[in-house]
Amino acid sequence: MFFLIQEANVTFPDPEKHNIYVSPKAQDLINKLLAKKKEKRLGAEKGIEEILSHPFFADLDIALLMKKELKPKYMPDINEGELKYFDQRLVKDNSVEFSVIPVAG
């Protein structure tokens, strides 16, 4: 496993065999985030701005996301029992302030 992390290229599931499709934009983003040399990783040079400028995020309204006003495209139907393994601070009142990284600017 250690060798795979350090040396091997990222592989993606076969869409027909595994019924999982990873778009070319998502594959590119993942490959750039997991570059073996940290100085070549997406975000190493310009930080979060460099990551968010990747084409994968082109349709994402960052301003709405930061204000927590972005509506998800899919909202699962969840019952209380399914949430028992999640951090209860997130589950109780939908408050995520303690886990948010402040953004400069």
Higher pLDDT, 79 or 42: 42
**Which pLDDT score is estimated for 44?**
96
pLDDT in tens, 21-32: 999 999 999 999
What structural domains and CATH numbers belong to the chain?
2-99 (1.10.510.10)
**Which pLDDT score is estimated for 61?**
92
Q: How crowded is residue 22: how many other Cβ atoms within 10 Å of its Cβ? A: 12
The whole-model pTM stands at 0.69
**Which pLDDT score is estimated for 98?**
60
Structure tokens at 81: 């029992």
Nearest CA-CA partner of 57 in 68, 69, 48? 48
pLDDT in tens, 30-55: 999 999 999 999 999 999 999 999 99
Mean pLDDT of 68-79: 84
